[in-house]
Structure 1
């Protein structure tokens, strides 16, 4: 986590930290502890303690000893501005520069901190003001509003349930490549045919019509997919 400051802005490390806190609770309700931040940001415990203290002093987080770290309204606003940059950059790299969706995360991590507001808005205009990035994560609007679909993890669906993919976690590039190879993408229809709890896997029907194919998927992989359920009956 770099610590350099830019004039008139918080540090890169602060932007990264509030972004991680927000993202942890965007699709799940994960308590953000110092240990969680240590794992996600890849730094030692002393550095995390100092970062949380600084964020608290800046009014960006609240934190009780041994308790979770939560964003204040100011911290949430900063996280949303940073995520808007990150997700617009990812979308631009895929749509305009031919990057694959498994390649863009690290590039966006660097670029989100250095592009100007003017360039960001030109990118947004060029892309037609997209509302989601290549992985389905919502792109916050300039005013900080977010439109998130009512989606659940595929792993909670029962046999017979179906839905369309709304979000795919980008934590594991290798898993994204596996999904690409098996035509699992945003808006793709997926139906759960069978579950085998003892084996930790499921049989899915991917796609619609004559081109639909069965796929065996582990529960670990299924937990990386969020779907909007189809109405039954």
Structure 2
């Protein structure tokens, strides 16, 4: 039980805090991200509101909820980085493995992992790792879905919750830092050119990519 709250911080509660932190949509978006029914989300949100972790009139974390969410997100992304960089776990597998380990991670072990990794700023998917102390900037990278034919785009982040899309990116040899020109797009897909290769990115793959336009 976390002393400052009236709700026990179980793995389920921490998963909700992470998803509410990372998602800017409504109940259905949260339900989709967690793989549960919308009424289940509604019931948990009521509990989180009663504990002062979620705003009473919006699906938004309070300052207190953000503090706990930052801690949960930091542990998760540090573990993903450790599993990927040190143990060689593939980037489409580290999210699930990290979720199995993060709840029992002590502050001491978290600090040791952070030091061992050289205090990384981003995880294997390009997500920024919240600092232990200080202000966290989650970033405002542009979804590839908004890019239009003729745009030049650099991949900076990928969503870690779609392993199939991550495997597809690996098969296409497209990773963080990849740059391409958008040639065409229809029904959510994008036809792009990177170097001397022309690729067709499926709609699920396009949905997980965020980055920036380049000159």
The gaps in structure 2 that reach 5 residues or longer are none
Q: Tell me how large the CA RMSD over aligned residues is.
A: 2.2
Q: Output the CA distance in 2 between the equivalents of 1:94 and 1:136.
A: 12
Q: 2:9: which partner in 1?
A: 10
Q: 1:101: which partner in 2?
A: 91
The one of 187, 190, 193 equivalent to 1:202 is 190
Q: Output the CA distance in 2 between the equivalents of 1:77 and 1:6.
A: 13
Q: Secondary structure at the match of 1:97?
A: coil
Any conservation in 1 of the 2:153–2:182 contact (CA below 8 Å)?
Answer: no
Q: Output the CA distance in 2 between the equivalents of 1:183 and 1:173.
A: 15
- Is residue 153 from structure 1 mapped to residue 146 from structure 2 by the alignment? no
Query: 1:163-182, aligned counterparts within 5 Å?
Result: 163-182=153-172
The gaps in structure 1 that reach 5 residues or longer are none
Q: Output the CA distance in 1 between the equivalents of 2:156 and 2:42.
A: 35
The one of 110, 130, 133 equivalent to 1:140 is 130
Q: 2:152: which partner in 1?
A: 162
Give the alignment's TM-score, normalised by structure 1: 0.82
Q: Output the CA distance in 2 between the equivalents of 1:121 and 1:177.
A: 31
CA displacement 1:75-115 (0-9 Å, x = unmatched): 11111110000000000000000100011111111211101
Q: Output the CA distance in 1 between the equivalents of 2:140 and 2:188.
A: 25
CA displacement 1:2-38 (0-9 Å, x = unmatched): xxx578862322211111111103xxxx2x32x4433
Instruction: Figure out how many residues of one structure are paired with residues of the other and give that number.
Output: 212
Give the alignment's TM-score, normalised by structure 2: 0.88
Deviation at 1:200, TM superposition (A): 4.4
